Structure 1
């Protein structure tokens, strides 16, 4: 019996993010990659801003005024959503790696998405109430 011919990967790393033909777990893994990239970018920006805060009280006050802008608050929400999803999906992937709940991957992913939604809503409401 011949093995099916695989087509060559002509798109390189872009195939990592191509959802076509993937099962639910593959979709979850794509989202995990995207959130990892987003959280890495956030970490860099966070460290840059911490460096600016070391410049004194005026820099701190300026940062607080900057952080209260709607676009920055939206970015904070994206970080929370990404962080919650990435962490919870990491637990799902670890369970799968250890052979736990392998047949229930779709349900686990939906649970991860549901918990991410609930946690994000709670954080968002608290954030809006504080401003």
Structure 2
């Protein structure tokens, strides 16, 4: 398989909650992380006193982050409104030649910064807020 261009990894926001997805403008970097907690079931009778885990137990979560140039596009306005309202909305992260991760996320961090001689940039962090789906492209 050939290497993939990072510009093809897209973060999309469901603008109205009706399935009309809008690509988040200005992003230069994007990241997706999956995590799962464990449920420890070790007791005094565990073989060799080795830790035992409950299969399928625990809580799964996903985090999405991105950083880019502030473009004052329609996606920027929508993101600001969702953050200040604490709204949970459906998002998609498209990984080229791999698949699409989709589901409800909440914006948990929104940061803006600028250098005197540079552009205004922003950082965005999302946390999953329900069950996610994965569809192969």
Q: TM-score, normalised by structure 2?
A: 0.22
| Higher relative strand content | 2
TM-score normalised by structure 1 residue count:
0.22
**Between structures 1 and 2, the one with greater helix share:** 1
